Amino acid sequence: MTAQPPVRLLLADDHPVVRAGLRAVLETEPDFEVVADVPTAEGAVDLAARLDVDVVLMDLQFGGRMLGSQATAEITARDGAPRVLVLTTYDTDVDILAAIEAGATGYLLKDAPPEELAAAVRTAAAGKSALAPTIALRLMDRMRTPATALSRRETEVLQLVADGLSNAQISKQLFLSQATVKSHLVHIYAKLGVDSRTSAVAAATTQGLIRR
Amino acid sequence: MTAQPPVRLLLADDHPVVRAGLRAVLETEPDFEVVADVPTAEGAVDLAARLDVDVVLMDLQFGGRMLGSQATAEITARDGAPRVLVLTTYDTDVDILAAIEAGATGYLLKDAPPEELAAAVRTAAAGKSALAPTIALRLMDRMRTPATALSRRETEVLQLVADGLSNAQISKQLFLSQATVKSHLVHIYAKLGVDSRTSAVAAATTQGLIRR
DNA sequence: TGCGGCATCAATCGAAAGGTGGAGCCTGGG
DNA sequence: CCCAGGCTCCACCTTTCGATTGATGCCGCA
């Protein structure tokens, strides 16, 4: 066992308390070094480029508008980019998939115990994928039932339905005809095994296909 | 300015990271002393009785069954009970009302900056009510529009709508005629200021009038 | 190159949901 | 005692939704 250079960390979370907590937890590990923490996704993108960091711990839900997944995508797009470990409160499918598509190396829940957190950081620093057991299970489920996979456009329509819009309103918002909206809905109902917009929203919500 | 005895704190949150963060943030204040932190609501009730604490910082959502408001009620029921400051992530009406009814002295959001947090703890220790500005505003809204209060039966109907049931299914489940279900819905729409079942569910969800 | 999935649109028809305007019953508070 | 408000129900009508069928263009993959 040779002396390793420390793992350099960047923390991105809009909750001051969580930032302080992550710092406190991670700095007890002798081989970790928290180089900075930021309260915004934009700040994370900026500092990830300018500082020399190995792993970014990224929250997905920021108070503002820019999403953590978007920031993740921007960070991982660069050459020699740091690994991004997504750290979020709830484990909905949309979030997980968005994060993985954005190039996240791992996905953790905020209720993870410190040891699991530290282990995930080391795994990520080594370039390997780090998924919380809960998340891994959920992904397995996803693979087994391909029916649950809505297309991008379908998800978009369903989200607007969940927001309470009528077919007419959705068609205007997405610059579609009502026929198209209905067509998407028919496919959505078939995939979810339901027969009305409200039950589609209910099913999609429990399965974490849309955000509330 | 005389030397005050320190404010003795108990932290209750199921997220290790949040506990560490609260500890880190609050211990920088010289007049605060964190005497313990616990990961469960039950533990909070227990320690609040056995230790000499002034203020309990209580999360509402615990991993298991939601006991935060219940624990608050149990703690505040005793003689010489500490003040309970509820600290939660999201600001839904049901949560706020439940906490206040349970006897919470204050209600804070987890994204509060450290200064606000410290100020609220001091306010609570002094026995005064401490509400985050966002929360206070929301409560004012609540008072101004008593319409937002759905009756028991209306809430019941709306919950079933949110679960994806049709009027026919709801009428069977509640042993009503469809006319009655429709009648309830009309009143619900009026109170929420909407005109369809899906938008009623959306509105009620954001206002925390129904679960999930 | 052709097949399948996705996205787009159209027409039609019956069923469900929403809008309006009632009405009777019961309970609790002024 | 009466009135307000919650809960239950009815009829009639309009609008929206869902189901069905069918069509087009695009793209990726075998």
Give the distance from residue B155's alpha carbon to the nearest chain A alpha carbon, in angstroms: 16
Please, which residues 104-163 of chain A have a Cβ atom closer than 8 Å to chain B? 110-114, 117, 161-163
Average pLDDT over residues A15-21: 92
Percent of chain B with pLDDT over 70: 83
Contact (CB, 8 A) for A109 and A156: no
As a three-state string, the secondary structure of chain B is CCCCCCEEEEEECCCHHHHHHHHHHHHCCCCEEEEEEECCHHHHHHHHHHCCCCEEEEECCCCCCCCHHHHHHHHHHCCCCCEEEEEECCCCHHHHHHHHHCCCCEEEECCCCHHHHHHHHHHHHCCCCEECHHHHHHHHHHHHCHHHCCCHHHHHHHHHHHCCCCHHHHHHHHCCCHHHHHHHHHHHHHHHCCCCHHHHHHHHHHCCCCCC
Query: What local confidence, expressed as pLDDT, does residue A141 receive?
Result: 54
Confidence bin at B148 (pLDDT 50/70/90) = low
Query: What local confidence, expressed as pLDDT, does residue A142 receive?
Result: 53
Maximal C-alpha separation, chain A: 66
DSSP bridge pairs for A10: A36, A56
Cβ of B28 < 7 Å from strand C? no
Q: What are phi and psi of A33, to 5 degrees?
A: -140, 115
Collect all residues of chain A within an 8 Å Cβ-Cβ radius of residue B166.
Answer: 196, 198
Of B16, B114, B198, which has the smallest distance from its Cβ to A164's Cβ?
B198
What's the pLDDT tens digit per position in A51-73? Answer: 989 999 998 877 655 677 788 88
A58 contacts: CB under 8 Å, gap ≥ 6 = A12, A41, A44, A68, A71, A72, A75, A84, A85, A86, A87, A104
Of B21, B161, B203, which has the smallest distance from its Cβ to A18's Cβ?
B21
What's the pLDDT tens digit per position in B75-88? Answer: 888 878 899 998 88
Query: What local confidence, expressed as pLDDT, does residue B196 receive?
Result: 96
Average pLDDT over residues B29-41: 92
Q: Is B127 exposed, middle or buried (0-12, 13-18, 19+ CB in 10 A)?
A: exposed
B6 contacts: CB under 8 Å, gap ≥ 6 = B30, B31, B32, B33
Q: Is the pLDDT of residue B180 over 90?
A: yes
Confidence bin at A147 (pLDDT 50/70/90) = very low
As a three-state string, the secondary structure of chain A is CCCCCCEEEEEECCCHHHHHHHHHHHHCCCCEEEEEEECCHHHHHHHHHHCCCCEEEEECCCCCCCCHHHHHHHHHHCCCCCEEEEEECCCCHHHHHHHHHCCCCEEEECCCCHHHHHHHHHHHHCCCCEECHHHHHHHHHHHHCHHHCCCHHHHHHHHHHHCCCCHHHHHHHCCCCHHHHHHHHHHHHHHHCCCCHHHHHHHHHHCCCCCC
Confidence bin at B10 (pLDDT 50/70/90) = very high
**Chain D, protein-covered positions (CB within 7 A):** 5-11, 16-23
CA B179 / C1′ C23 distance in Å: 13
Identify the residue whose tokens are 């709830």: A90
Token code pair at residue A175: 């610059």
Percent of chain A with pLDDT over 70: 85
Q: Is the CB of B164 inside 8 Å of chain A's CB atoms? A: yes
What's the pLDDT tens digit per position in A116-142? Answer: 889 999 998 888 777 766 666 666 555
Q: Taking the complete model, does pTM exceed 0.85, yes or no? A: no
Confidence bin at B1 (pLDDT 50/70/90) = low
Token code pair at residue B112: 């509060």
**Average predicted confidence (pLDDT) for chain B:** 84
> A83 vs A97, which has greater pLDDT?
A83
Q: Is the pLDDT of residue B142 over 70?
A: no
Confidence bin at B135 (pLDDT 50/70/90) = low
Confidence bin at A76 (pLDDT 50/70/90) = confident
Q: Does B19 sit within 8 Å of A20, measured CB to CB?
A: no
Q: Is the pLDDT of residue A9 over 50?
A: yes
Query: What local confidence, expressed as pLDDT, does residue B77 receive?
Result: 84
What's the pLDDT tens digit per position in A154-174? Answer: 999 999 999 999 999 999 999
What's the pLDDT tens digit per position in A188-202? Answer: 999 999 999 999 999
Contact (CB, 8 A) for B112 and B82: no
Query: What local confidence, expressed as pLDDT, does residue A136 receive?
Result: 62
CA B180 / C1′ C24 distance in Å: 13
Q: Is the pLDDT of residue B62 over 90?
A: no
In chain A the domains, ranked by start, together with CATH numbers, are: 7-142 (3.40.50.2300), 146-206 (1.10.10.10)
